Each structure stands twice: as C-alpha cells, then as structure tokens.
C-alpha cells in the first residue's frame, strides 16, 4: 500500500483539510521517496520508530509496510483524521503532541527507538537538539530537513557550514548527509532542496559542565570574525587557553568538539 499524490489530495479534500503555512507543512507525496527513506533508515520488521510530523501519512505507510511499529507524533489535530484514514487497521499509535515540549521518557519508555521523519523546516534544528538531549532511548535518526540545515548538522571543522549547531550535534552523535530530495516530491513544493541526514547516537565526551561547554560554543560562533580571545573574553583566560593548547588568536570555526571540550574544562 502506498500513498500517491492523488490519493493524498483525495484524503485532504475528504476531511476538508488545508495545509498550514504557520506549521511549515510540506507533505511528502511520493511513494518512491518514502521507500528510499525507510531503506536508508535500515528499518526492519518489529523496529520501534517514532515519526515526528507524519502529516498525511506517506512516510508512515512506508514504515508500516516495512514492518515497523510506529508512534506518530503530530501537533496539528486537524490533520489527524487524514492520518487515521491513511493508516486504518495498521500498527500505529497516533499521538497529538508537540515534539518541542513532549516528555520523551514518559512517551517512549525504556525501549530503544529510531526517529524517522520529515521534520518541519521551521523547528528542525531545535527539535533535533532537544531530542538528542532528552530522549536517550532514540539511538538513531534518519530525518529530512532543509538542505542547508542538513549540511550544518553534519558539518565538521573545515566545512563552510560548520558552526555551533555542528558542535552540539557532534557532542551527542555522529552525523552525515546521506541523500538529497527535490522540492517536486512535496505537497506543496517548498522553495528549497531537502537533505536526508543520518545521526547515530554515541556516548558524549566527558564534560564536567555541559552548559558551560555549549555557552562557550555559542559565544565563539556568535561573532565569527572575532578571535577566540575577544569572543570569549571574561569566560576563558589566557592561562586556560594555554592549558587547553588552544591558540587564543584562532577563530571558532577552527576548533573541533575535542578542542571545545578541553577549553570548557579550564
């Protein structure tokens, strides 16, 4: 069973649903792309998958066809009847909640999950960072995001897209862009290309104060043209730079996660 563009249009019309610009709704409407995402995510029979923003259910159906047990988290209650219609009789739990505020441990319990989702562009980065921080039971991700966002999530030192978000993601997981998706497979088509990003959780580095680490990272990248000595004035001393073997005349984009960790420990 697949959800084609024409079938999605029929479901939306049948339930008198109009897409919300405010929620950044661009529904995946191509069965081949949905199956590609499921394949890249390595979903197998019995896998527990949480899908954020299932919309009309194109990806949900592909996950179910692969044998996954799906928990679909949807913030827009108006679209839920469409999703229920598209997945009737299937092994899916539909929860109306906001992924930006939901209690992940209470929702998912102690079991191991994967997140496979077409994330809303307007909240993709903070949503992922929140899940990485508070949902330890999600050990891998395959998410579709705006291409520029995906490049930032997976960037490392030397990449043009490398920034504070890259460092924070690297703290929790290894990340890489595994594919691109054109605007033509969405309803309505966005004005940008999308990227498929794989994240695999790993043990975080030993950090005494994660909040200090992230505060330094934010400060360092907030003023990219400034040297670290100037960007981190008042937070890191020259002695601390020396002890961490970091050149205070360098700039934030030259520091790896390990460099930031050493600096935060001083």
- CATH code of the domain covering residue 221: 1.10.8.100
Tokens representing residue 195 in the block: 């990227």
CA-only gyration radius of the chain, Å: 20
Residue where a domain stops, chosen among 201, 220, 244: 201
- Whole domain around residue 249: which residue ranges? 210-264
Residue where a domain stops, chosen among 201, 226, 246: 201
CA dihedral 198, 204, 210, 214 (to 10 degrees): -30
**Residues in contact with 111: Cβ distance below 8 Å, sequence separation at least 6, in sequence order:** 48, 137
pLDDT at 1: 63
**Ranges in the chain, pLDDT < 70:** 1, 22-24
pLDDT at 172: 98
Same-domain status, 190 and 233? no
Same-domain status, 131 and 215? no
pLDDT at 56: 93
Which residues make beta-bridge pairs with 142? 116, 198
- CATH code of the domain covering residue 143: 3.40.50.150
Please write the tens of the pLDDT for every residue from 156-209: 999 999 999 999 999 999 999 999 999 999 998 999 999 999 999 999 998 989
Residue where a domain stops, chosen among 201, 225, 253: 201
How many domains does the chain fold into?
Answer: 2
Which strand ranges, in their side-by-side order, compose the sheet holding 48-52? Answer: 92-96, 69-74, 48-52, 113-118, 138-146, 194-201, 173-181
Same-domain status, 44 and 164? yes
Same-domain status, 197 and 219? no
What pTM did the predictor assign?
A: 0.94
Pairing type for strands 92-96 and 138-146 reads unpaired
């Amino acid at each position: 069973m697949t959800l084609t563009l024409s079938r999605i249009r029929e479901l939306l019309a049948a339930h008198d649903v109009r897409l919300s610009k405010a929620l950044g709704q661009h529904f995946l409407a191509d069965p081949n792309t949905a199956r590609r995402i499921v394949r890249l995510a390595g979903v197998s029979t019995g896998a527990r998958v949480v899908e954020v923003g299932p919309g009309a259910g194109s990806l949900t159906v592909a996950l179910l066809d692969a044998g996954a047990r799906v928990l679909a988290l949807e913030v827009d209650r108006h679209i839920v009847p469409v999703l229920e219609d598209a997945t009737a009789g299937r092994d899916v739990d539909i929860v109306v909640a906001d992924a930006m505020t939901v209690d992940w441990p209470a929702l998912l319990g102690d079991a191991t999950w994967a997140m496979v989702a077409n994330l809303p562009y307007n909240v993709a980065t903070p949503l992922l960072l929140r899940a990485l921080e508070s949902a330890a039971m999600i050990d891998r991700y395959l998410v579709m995001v705006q291409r520029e966002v995906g490049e930032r999530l997976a960037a490392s030192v030397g990449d043009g897209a490398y920034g504070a978000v890259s460092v924070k993601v690297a703290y929790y997981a290894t990340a890489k862009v595994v594919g691109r998706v054109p605007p033509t497979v969405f309803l309505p088509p966005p004005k940008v290309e999308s990227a498929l990003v794989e994240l695999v959780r790993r043990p975080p580095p030993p950090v005494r104060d994660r909040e200090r680490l992230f505060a330094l990272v934010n400060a360092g990248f907030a003023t990219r043209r400034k040297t670290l000595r100037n960007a981190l004035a008042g937070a890191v001393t020259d002695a601390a730079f020396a002890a961490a073997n970091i050149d205070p005349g360098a700039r934030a984009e030259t520091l790896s996660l390990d460099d930031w960790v050493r600096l935060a420990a001083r």
